[in-house]
Structure 1
Amino acid sequence: MFKVYATTPESMGPWDIGAHAARAEAMGFDGLQVPDAIHDGLLLAALALQATRRLRVGTSVLVAFPRSPMTVAVASWDLQRLSGGRFELGLGTQIKQNIEERYSARWVSPVPQLREYVQSLKAIFNSFQHGSRLCFEGEHYRFTRLQPFFNPGPIEHPSIPVFCGAVGPAMTRMVGRVADGMITHPTNTPPEYIREVCLPRLQEGLDRAGRDAQSLRLILGPLVATGVDEEAVAAQWEQQRRLLGFLYSTPAYWPSLDLFGWQERGAQLQALTREGRWHDLSSVVTDEMLEVFVPRGPYEDIANTLRNRYSGLADSITFPMPADPAEDAQAARAIARLRAA
């Protein structure tokens, strides 16, 4: 049985997110992932939680380094109390150029820095709940002061799950060491890659920390092409071709290309971006690549397709919300079948 999370378009703003979340809840989704890209992820999460009663809401993923762990901890604590325990905090590093040039923040050593970020969050949460002295001192973060006046105090559901997005080997092992779960990148979701690369690295981190595998959740975020009929599926497939072309123009995402022997495709895509030929990226992504990276099928078949690919590899998966609400009933039946798989 999968927990099924709805996705949210990155362009969706605070004025639309409440209705989007309510729709997801009515369709039977277990949770909703909200982005942190064009709009603020914590604000979107707050409005989504306020508009629902059962739905879990997580950030996927909140850009960590421009924000102090303390400000994220305070917001997360408030969201958890507001929602009665339905908030999930997903964190990510983004890339060096964005952190330094878009956010004007520090990029030092992303793996140790995010590890300390998660550890300091857990220390802060512990102080909030138990009133204990705050004392976290690391190389990148230091928290030693929390006067009672600034402590929001205990809440009914203090265990806020902290997930991390991870791609590279060191970051994936780090997730196994300290986080509550991992959110896969769309480029890392072929079942072969999950089985042969992601899971062994997570296990290495778990072993290093002396943790049990049951303590870690894995949320798969595949690019899915689905719709009411084959024509709609084909249109979605082409949309995902364009997205994969954009994603694989970034070298950080090339490891999954390497696994399938498509190393040269990433270099071709990067060269096109340097020439400003953004519209030509999709021509590099072949149908063979799409077959590996993008599960496809109409609503009546897609649950079986996803089950056959991913059963036994994870407990949670994302599924696209229909652009047209008229398709909600058909999509809801696919979600029910996927939840029961």
Structure 2
Amino acid sequence: MKLGLQLGYWGAGPPSNAAELVAVAEESGFDAVFAAEAWGSDAFTPLAWWGSGTRRVRLGTSVVQMSARTPAACAMHALTLDHLSGGRFVLGLGVSGPQVVEGWYGRPFAKPLARTREYVSIVRQVLAREAPVANDGPHHPLPYRGPGALGLGKPLKPITHPLRADLPIWLGAEGPRNVALAAEVADGWLAIYYAPRLAGMYDEWLGEGFAKAGRGRDGFEVAATCQVVVTDDPVAVRTTLKPFVALYAGGMGAPGMNFHAEVFTRMGYGEAVADVGRLFRAGRKDEAAQAVPDELVAEISIVGTAGQVREEVRRWEEAGVTTLLVGCRDGASIKAVAEACQ
């Protein structure tokens, strides 16, 4: 099992000890460091800044939001960071949700699967640099010929030669069709909430995509976000995780279209998810956190003694996960996780 340090996205300001965490993660044998974005800090800049002090770990985004930048602009970020890191960059992409896409980026959210397919195709064209980049699809037409166009655009190749044509592209996906798409067009799946109990269901979704692409699972990575905590008091730790679950189940998405809530519902917690959402939207966030079932938190995290963590990590690996993306607040926690997972 590989480990990735999840730096996430910033709150009101940048974290004070991120550089230390990245250094300790590399020293402790972590395979990668990932950064995310929501509607504040971006995911590329922290990797360039803090990643400049690393020599071995992969640097990845989990995820950059596709509506935040055009496919060509995203490919420029990717090829630049790949050069600067000596071929260690992983491009993790995600569609986000309608509240962010339409409310923050001012872009339409409709047809996310078709948009993703076009987006990945254009990024791959840029990285391949075999021909001028063009796309006939309706979502990202290149050259642009729509309203306001002067008609002077022409297909272009990137000036900079990408370091790797096969730079890995992973998709953040939660629903069955999106997970299948990741298996079809990407090199990995970023699972924000994963439950080993449902590995058979995930395998069916992935299998559909592999079959459509005419390939097997070899080389495909499954990176699951998972809080891994070595402790003698798992009950207390799981209690501290409940507010984050409540936020994603109740506050990260529109009523009636919250993809995170749908994930928890598929796990069998539909009634509890409805209660969490109702309480969260009413501003009763503490009560929403208390309504999160203990069993749900236990399914999506690995918390316990070093021996218990080691056993659980083995179970997640057997369920198909190749990388655990863990969030740690200090160097001691990183070292404890690394030692337990050896």
Structure 2 residue aligned with 1:109: 111
Distance apart, 1:174 and its partner CA = 1.2
Structure 1 residue aligned with 2:210: 206
Distance apart, 1:301 and its partner CA = 3.4
Structure 2 residue aligned with 1:126: 128
SS of the residue 2:227 aligns to? coil
Indicate if the aligned counterparts of 1:48 and 1:57 stay in contact, CA closer than 8 A.
Answer: no
Residue type at the aligned position of 2:330: D
Tell me how far apart the structure 2 counterparts of residues 13 and 302 of structure 1 sit (CA, whole Å).
Answer: 30
- Deviation by residue 1:250-279 (Cα, 9 ceiling, x = unmatched): 532234433443211121122113322122
SS of the residue 1:33 aligns to? strand
Match of residue 276, structure 2, among 261, 269, 275:
269
Q: CA RMSD in A?
A: 2.2
Whether 2:197 is the aligned partner of 1:192: answer yes
SS of the residue 2:302 aligns to? coil
Residue type at the aligned position of 2:160: P
Structure 1 residue aligned with 2:160: 152
Structure 2 residue aligned with 1:18: 19
Distance apart, 1:146 and its partner CA = 4.5
Using structure 1 for the length normalisation, give the TM-score: 0.87
Whether 2:225 is the aligned partner of 1:221: answer yes
SS of the residue 1:331 aligns to? helix
Structure 2 residue aligned with 1:179: 186
Match of residue 90, structure 1, among 89, 92, 96:
92
Whether 2:304 is the aligned partner of 1:334: answer no
SS of the residue 1:58 aligns to? strand
More helix by share: 1
Tell me how far apart the structure 1 counterparts of residues 212 and 156 of structure 2 sit (CA, whole Å).
Answer: 34
Structure 2 residue aligned with 1:283: 290
- How do 1:50-89 and structure 2 match up within 5 A? 50-89=52-91
- Identity, in percent, stands at 24
Distance 1:15 1:325, change over 3 A: closer
Using structure 2 for the length normalisation, give the TM-score: 0.87
Indicate if the aligned counterparts of 2:35 and 2:60 stay in contact, CA closer than 8 A.
Answer: yes
Indicate if the aligned counterparts of 2:83 and 2:162 stay in contact, CA closer than 8 A.
Answer: no
Could you tell me which runs of 5 or more consecutive residues in structure 1 were left unpaired when the two chains were aligned.
none
Tell me how far apart the structure 1 counterparts of residues 65 and 330 of structure 2 sit (CA, whole Å).
Answer: 30
Structure 1 residue aligned with 2:330: 324
Distance apart, 1:104 and its partner CA = 1.9
Indicate if the aligned counterparts of 1:17 and 1:44 stay in contact, CA closer than 8 A.
Answer: no
Question: How many residues of Structure 1 are paired with residues of Structure 2 in the alignment?
Answer: 323
SS of the residue 1:207 aligns to? helix
Distance apart, 1:25 and its partner CA = 0.4
Distance 1:260 1:59, change over 3 A: closer
Residue type at the aligned position of 1:239: T
Distance 1:329 1:191, change over 3 A: closer
Residue type at the aligned position of 1:42: F
Residue type at the aligned position of 2:30: F
Tell me how far apart the structure 1 counterparts of residues 15 and 272 of structure 2 sit (CA, whole Å).
Answer: 37
